[in-house]
Amino acid sequence: MSEELRVLAVEAAQRGAAVCLRQLGEPVSAETKTAAGDVVTAVDRSAEEAVRAVLLSARPDDSVLGEELAEHVGAGPLQWVIDPLDGTTNFTRRIPYFATSVAVRTVADGRWLAGAVSAPALGMTWSAAKNLGAIVDSGDGRERLPLPHVATTARLVGTGLSYDPGHRRRQLRELGALMTEYTDMRRFGAAAVDLCLVAQGSLDAFVEDDLGVHDWAAGALIAEEAGAEVRRPAGRDGGVSARWS
């Protein structure tokens, strides 16, 4: 069943990502949500509608928790968690690190079963199914994760910053302690993509402590199935980390 759910997650994520890519560079209006820098566009909502159409057409009884639209509560055993446009600021600035993220978990105990992250401007879709490993599809075909890399002494950590100014100041104060284990840092602006970069071994770690479940749901499972050590928050929102030992 997990593999079937992975295939559906990939289809839904790619459908949402296609909506985003068609609108890239087109004039869109952006609104501020919770704080300065936290923006949403009509593209976010259109992409979520496209994702939901795929999921509910295939599994009409399942629940759907998205970032932009009201939660759909179904009577089925599964809940889908959607981030239709992770990296909205990147999208509005034509920075290619944005993606549509789709994951699914059981309602009864919250076990994550499958997930997919599609980054259309990068031409990459990462996905995973519980206990079946993780893969990436790109112009080079399909590869299992992690990918082979040139051996070097570099150790790279990815992170992100909160929209809340006070929280952001604290994160910056703590950055020095985080960097003692790493030689450099990367900041791509899309947590789902960052977690997939850990999964493929491009980043040695990703750490961020102010995320919603839609930000990390699929990426965390993909990193975990690739073999990285993943820590999720105890509640619905909070911090997440993924590391290679």
pLDDT band with cut points at 50, 70 and 90 for residue 39: confident
85 assigned binding-site residue: yes
The domains of the chain are located at: 1-144, 156-243
pLDDT at 237 over 80: no
83 assigned binding-site residue: yes
Cα 34 to the chain's mean position, in Å?
Answer: 20
Closest to 231 in 3D by CA, of 212, 207, 211 = 207
pLDDT for the residue 106: 97
* pTM confidence score: 0.95
pLDDT tens digits, residue range 59-101? 999 999 999 899 999 999 999 999 999 999 999 999 999 999 9
164 assigned binding-site residue: no
Write the class of the CATH domain 156-243.
Answer: alpha beta
204 assigned binding-site residue: no
Contact between residue 102 and residue 87 where contact means Cβ atoms under 8 Å apart: no
CATH 3.30.540.10 fits 1-144, yes or no: yes
CA distance 6 to 107: 17
Contact between residue 220 and residue 228 where contact means Cβ atoms under 8 Å apart: no
pLDDT for the residue 236: 65
26 assigned binding-site residue: no
* Per-position DSSP letters for 99-144, written without gaps between them: EEEEEEEETTT--EEEEEEEETTTTEEEEEETTS-EEEEETTEEEE
Q: Region 200-213: what's the mean pLDDT? A: 95
Q: Region 184-192: what's the mean pLDDT? A: 96
pLDDT tens digits, residue range 110-165? 999 999 999 999 999 999 999 999 999 998 899 999 999 999 999 999 999 888 88
CA distance 19 to 15: 7
